[in-house]
Structure 1
Amino acid sequence: MPAAAGEGSVLCFGFPLSIFFIVINEFCERFSYYGMKAVLILYFKYFLHWEDNFSTAIYHTFVALCYLTPILGAIIADSWLGKFKTIVYLSIVYTIGQTVLSVGSINDLTDHNQDGSPDSVALHIALSMIGLILIALGTGGIKPCVSAFGGDQFEEDQEKQRRTFFSLFYLSINAGSLLSTIVTPNLRATECGIHSKQRCYPLAFGVPAILMAVALVVFVIGSKMYKKVKPQGNIMLQVSKCVGFAIKNRFQHRSKEFPKREHWLDWASEKYDKQLIAQTKMVLKVLFLYIPLPMFWALFDQQGSRWTLQATAMNGDFIVNPILIVIMVPVVDYLVYPLIKKCKINFTPLRKMTVGMFLASMAFVAAALVQVQIDKTSPVFPAAEQTQVRLINLGAAPATVQFQPQFINNYSLPVNVTMDGMAFGVLDPLSVSNYSVITKQDKSFTINASMPLATCTVVSKTFGYGSAYTISVNDCTGSHLNVTYFEDIAPNTVHMAWQIPQYFLLTCGEVVFSVTGLEFSYSQAPSNMKSVLQAGWLLTVAVGNIIVLIVAGASKLDKQWAEYVLFAALLLVVCIIFAIMASFYTYVDPNEIEAQFSEEKKGEDKKDQDDNEKEAEADSRM
């Protein structure tokens, strides 16, 4: 199919200049997506006050929706707008969604407070859900188009450059992810607000919104350089009709008088041309291979949910996966693969993907081992129908007991307590405050106690991750506040560094699975079905997130480590099944097959022309 003007013929380092606009666009878009996603489950838990399981369910539902909408994007691109316009229009929707989510997280919109009452969070939930739906529509809609649009910029004889592009494309994805995963959690950690201070989710979501707008602008700037393949009709509908007719025709003619066909799709030859049938065969062969793939994504996307929640129960704070990706992609491409080739091992794309699935399975075994260690250091909470009570009477007379204290006033007069701007209010003698959450636990805090005769201060001890303390305010010596600490829950002692092995294994699995899968999907797709097969690839991610919801809901496992082992075992079984299926797959060259049909069609057209000329000559003689 001829391309529009601006054929992308300008070269830079041997590559079409247009692809650099596409790579920069992808970097900014992935910064936007992963930056928002990095704090999303924390937003659910700490701002909307949803419990862990519900937050996890909504998180994976959102991710699933992000990977279901690529089908819609592929249909729009291939049927009506083409890839370029589809990317532009849906990027606008995407930017609006990021903006709405950022606005929805502003504390001052309502009288939202820490109690998380339904009246105070209703508007936040509504705006957040609208924003996430628009984001899912935008990011999902452009997913099958951007990578395929990048592949379109290359000529048929630039297969090596195209392969390098997909690695560069995936590297830009993870470079954006790396930067955003470092930046947005730090933006969230700051405090902002006019009437009430909060963790700065508006900024953590607002910066990704700005980056998405930048991605849109960069993509539009390169417009005149792009090779734009025109839409070729609703190819998904044509494929569906072809498949449906073949099945219907096959069952209508089951009698022996009809000759058998080499392939069941050949039963559609009575209505559809041979080229469409051949192209449909190619697509269905790949889609059949995709059936086991969702299990990989079921494990992979738990980085943002279960693994993030696992990290909140550990000591430390650092980013692993994006850093490893940026390192491992060039290492694998320029060191590991060449070494394997020198060893004369035929490491085909499908074998690479099989290895990736195995590594992801082992990553969850490592996660289970870490979880066992975390469980050993976790506090023992009372079981169902049990209550755990700790009583402290610091006075000389009987005292009324109240639960969940943070500060105890053991002074004879009322005391107004604050800690680095965090107010605990006025405490009467022997009264207690509620617990308050401290996010920066790796430093000391200044405790101020305003007493009737003086204001006293003291620098607190350093509070460990995951710990809970009761602090008794005793008295004041000069301006020094005397306090006593009671450790209610011991701090976490398992450091986040123990997550490195599981992230390393999963990252290696991602590099050989996902990068290979993107290139494989493009290389095995007919020219008019690139977006369709990309959408099919992305659909496996959506199904993977649905699997998380189903397995986590149906397993009823009390221990998190047991759930990790369950997922690891499921992926290992699926890995074996995929390896067997892959051994029967025969690689094809769509361009070669299409060229054969093109030659055949030229021959048929010439024959028809000759026949018409002969008929015309015969008519002239009569």
Structure 2
Amino acid sequence: MGMSRSQSCFGYPLSIFFIVVNEFCERFSYYGMRALLILYFTLFIGWDDNLSTAIYHTFVALCYLTPILGALIADSWLGKFKTIVSLSIVYTIGQVVLAVSSINDLTDGNRDGTPDSLPVHVALSMIGLALIAFGTGGIKPCVSAFGGDQFEEGQEKQRNRFFSIFYLAINAGSLLSTIITPILRVQQCGIHSKQACYPLAFGVPAALMAVSLIVFVIGSRMYKKFQPQGNIMAKVAKCIGFAITNRIRHRSNKFPKREHWLDWAKEKYDERLISQIKMVTRVMFLYIPLPMFWALFDQQGSRWTLQATTMNGQIGVIEIQPDQMQTVNAILIVIMVPIMDAVVYPLIAKCGLNFTSLKKMTVGMFLASMAFVAAAIVQVEIDKTLPVFPNGHEVQVKVLNIGNNSMNISFPGETMAVNQMSQTGDFMTFDVDKLSINISSTGSPVTPVTHNFEQGHRHTILVWAPNHYRVIKDGLDRKPEKGQNGIRFVNAFDKSFDVTMDGTVYVNVTSHSASEYQFFPSGKKSFTINSTEISQQCERNFTSPRLGFGSAYTYVMGRKADGCPELSVFGDIPPNTVNMALQIPQYFLLTCGEVVFSVTGLEFSYSQAPSNMKSVLQAGWLLTVAVGNIIVLIVAGAGQFSKQWAEYILFAALLLVVCVIFGIMAQFYTYVNPAEVEAKFDDDEKKKNPEKENPYYTLDSVSQTRM
């Protein structure tokens, strides 16, 4: 039996603090794991961007579909408290399995970092993610509703404030984890060779999930716990089904019309249940347009992160990695929620405006739509700076002179002199059928370049003597992804050499040829040259110029007069110039939209639901998030846009249309006070049975039967 008056602190039930700490740890665990997910798929498992994005959004959708199961278990079987405990155990196991799946068994010393037994890793990580989706989804509708249950009648103000605090805990957890786990990921660890440290980065969220569970259980004695009310969802579904079939059965005009379509269930179900379902269906009807908001919101983790990879992360003295830009959202939330509560809403009320929950949500949708317009504008700026690559029937060529004499190179329409250790500027574009190149130098015959150039690609021609050249196809047909920088080495020596750079070994770069590009994050890199041709007295250690984001370079190792190696650096693709700070306006708009949309939506769902159907509406609310993620899969999959900004504009336009529809629907919604409706039924019950003072009824108007 719960205490009639729970212990309180600052006017809040003491039990609330355990629930908030539990939520903070759980969200840290979830978002910390989710921040790494897309990079884990692409860099560790080795899937391409499209498959990784699809699996990412499918996982997120699953996390928001399973709340229906959680609500069913809580309402019809275990009650909220036991559901939260048992599913948290499942969740913790899932996090541990995912962390184990990322332990690389590099027994054969794979250099590329991909695991040996890939199917085992994929299977384990999918099992882990399935358990996590079931765990996190299952407890979602229970935790916030369980928190709301801790308040007494007359504590509406504190309860509304609790939802804001609860949302802050969610975002403080996600903020810290999205800063911390990417830092853990880039640590080097491993038994046989040093790799990105996924086991540590996934292990910390797993540990926090265990802490979350322990904290929640410690508060057990203080909670108000209510008996499960029976499978309310099944009851709701049956009642709605009966009303519809009954209405169809009595379609003829002989039967008088009824005020509401649910009134057709009166033959079988009592009025209390029918009036409760009316409240729920009216709110659920308003939910229909909401998934479009989440479709835009959840692209921060996919499309916006990929946009950040084409930008420059140097903001003042700080250098930001593309996957850390998501923290801007969490930082702004932590700032904006208190400002909205303490300043903006009271100001609007002072001006005499009735800023209802649904009006706030409409404004939130509009702001999210504008955020995608801002993203499209940034994308247009980025597109201006992107290098031009050859089309299908074209080739691009540049000449790099790694010899000791000046050379003359003639292309169709022009001849140019290329001095030693220099190149012909940028890549030049030619039609593949009309391309003819000749190399000559003073006093030597002309050498035509005979090479079957692959159309649609870039080529570098290495020249070191009048009749000596080599054509190399560049492996790059787009800017390096995820803000990485491509580096390849050209060997101007007569014998091969090895290069060790930042833990990567370029083995056996043969004489007068180029290695493949290898990719590195920003910053300065040190490397060492090893060759039998270089005498022991020579300096073999070099430091690269500072690398930005998204560039590519050719490092030519030439020979000085004393025979020692000398580094010459040539740019192939310039680094990103559009600064990541330009993403801040779009994050700001989306976050303002989220604050007025999401916090308000949670409050609204709770305040408009009858006491025994809170979790049904919570599950409905979370279902809109799942559908939103499915919309991303459909729109991104179906509309193959040649320009990314066009996709952003499409999403913005779709949400704008939905926003207008929602605004119109909101005008027709009348707010109810479920407690008053319940009380009316209680009074009617008393009048019918004055001798039957059943405590069940009086308690039911407050909430559900106590344990």
- What's the TM-score, normalizing by structure 2? 0.83
Distance 1:110 1:237 in 2: 53
1:605 aligns with 2:689: yes
Equivalent residues in 2 for 1:10-21, closer than 5 Å: 10-21=7-18
1:425 aligns with 2:495: no
* Aligned-pair CA distance for 1:226: 0.4
AA aligned opposite 1:451: S
AA aligned opposite 2:632: V
* Aligned-pair CA distance for 1:256: 3.0
Structure 1 residues 184 and 117: CA distance shift in structure 2, 3 A: closer
Aligned equivalent of 1:345: 353
Aligned equivalent of 2:615: 531
1:376 aligns with 2:373: no
Distance 1:128 1:479 in 2: 52
Which deviates the most, 575-584 or 548-557? 548-557
**Which residue, out of 531, 539, 555, partners 1:451?**
531
Structure 1 residues 580 and 566: CA distance shift in structure 2, 3 A: same
* Aligned-pair CA distance for 1:197: 2.1
Higher relative contact order (CA 8 A, sep 6+): 1
Equivalent residues in 2 for 1:267-306, closer than 5 Å: 267-306=264-303
**Which residue, out of 454, 461, 468, partners 1:398?**
468
Aligned equivalent of 2:369: 361
Equivalent residues in 2 for 1:12-411, closer than 5 Å: 12-108=9-105, 113=110, 120-316=117-313, 317=320, 318=325, 319-384=327-392, 386-396=455-465, 398-403=468-473, 404=475, 406-411=488-493
Structure 1 residues 258 and 225: CA distance shift in structure 2, 3 A: same
DSSP-derived class of the 2:508 partner: strand
Which deviates the most, 318-327 or 388-397? 388-397
1:491 aligns with 2:575: yes
Q: Which runs of 5+ in 1 are unaligned?
A: 610-622
* Aligned-pair CA distance for 1:478: 7.5
* Aligned-pair CA distance for 1:481: 4.2
Matched-pair contact (CA < 8 Å) for 2:103–2:198: yes
Distance 2:623 2:204 in 1: 28
* Aligned-pair CA distance for 1:486: 1.9
Q: Deviations over 1:217-257 (max 9, x none)?
A: 11111000000111010000000000011111111112333
Structure 1 residues 79 and 99: CA distance shift in structure 2, 3 A: same
Q: Deviations over 1:372-423 (max 9, x none)?
A: 1111112223334642232232433525544448111111223221123321
Structure 1 residues 608 and 19: CA distance shift in structure 2, 3 A: closer
Structure 1 residues 256 and 198: CA distance shift in structure 2, 3 A: same
DSSP-derived class of the 2:283 partner: helix
Matched-pair contact (CA < 8 Å) for 2:459–2:472: no
Distance 2:621 2:287 in 1: 7
DSSP-derived class of the 2:459 partner: coil
Distance 1:477 1:21 in 2: 73
Distance 1:328 1:371 in 2: 26
DSSP-derived class of the 1:196 partner: coil
Matched-pair contact (CA < 8 Å) for 1:44–1:55: yes
Sequence identity, in percent?
69
Distance 1:19 1:348 in 2: 27
AA aligned opposite 1:304: G
- What's the TM-score, normalizing by structure 1? 0.94
Matched-pair contact (CA < 8 Å) for 1:8–1:227: no
* Aligned-pair CA distance for 1:458: 1.7
* Aligned-pair CA distance for 1:602: 2.0
Distance 1:246 1:114 in 2: 65
Matched-pair contact (CA < 8 Å) for 1:107–1:196: no
Report how many aligned residue pairs link the two structures.
Answer: 604
Structure 1 residues 384 and 228: CA distance shift in structure 2, 3 A: farther
Distance 1:527 1:503 in 2: 36
Which deviates the most, 494-503 or 555-564? 555-564
* Aligned-pair CA distance for 1:475: 2.7
Query: Where is the strand percentage greater, Structure 1 or Structure 2?
Result: 2
Q: Deviations over 1:497-555 (max 9, x none)?
A: 00000000000000000000001111111111111100000000000000111111122
* Aligned-pair CA distance for 1:432: 2.6
Matched-pair contact (CA < 8 Å) for 1:457–1:481: no
**Which residue, out of 590, 601, 606, partners 1:506?**
590
Distance 2:254 2:275 in 1: 25
Matched-pair contact (CA < 8 Å) for 2:106–2:116: no
DSSP-derived class of the 2:268 partner: coil
Aligned equivalent of 1:614: none
Q: Cα RMSD between the aligned structures? A: 1.9
* Aligned-pair CA distance for 1:280: 0.4
* Aligned-pair CA distance for 1:20: 0.5
DSSP-derived class of the 1:64 partner: helix
Matched-pair contact (CA < 8 Å) for 1:7–1:228: no
* Aligned-pair CA distance for 1:196: 2.5
Which deviates the most, 186-195 or 398-407? 398-407
Aligned equivalent of 1:577: 661
* Aligned-pair CA distance for 1:606: 2.9
DSSP-derived class of the 2:680 partner: helix
Matched-pair contact (CA < 8 Å) for 2:462–2:469: yes
Matched-pair contact (CA < 8 Å) for 1:70–1:538: yes
Matched-pair contact (CA < 8 Å) for 1:471–1:483: yes
DSSP-derived class of the 1:395 partner: strand
Larger Rg: 2
AA aligned opposite 2:347: L
Which deviates the most, 373-382 or 155-164? 373-382
* Aligned-pair CA distance for 1:55: 1.6
Structure 1 residues 66 and 360: CA distance shift in structure 2, 3 A: same
Q: Which runs of 5+ in 2 are unaligned?
A: 314-319, 394-454, 476-486, 694-707
AA aligned opposite 1:381: F
Aligned equivalent of 1:620: none
Query: Where is the helix percentage greater, Structure 1 or Structure 2?
Result: 1
* Aligned-pair CA distance for 1:259: 2.2
* Aligned-pair CA distance for 1:156: 1.6
Distance 1:444 1:478 in 2: 27
Matched-pair contact (CA < 8 Å) for 1:108–1:196: no
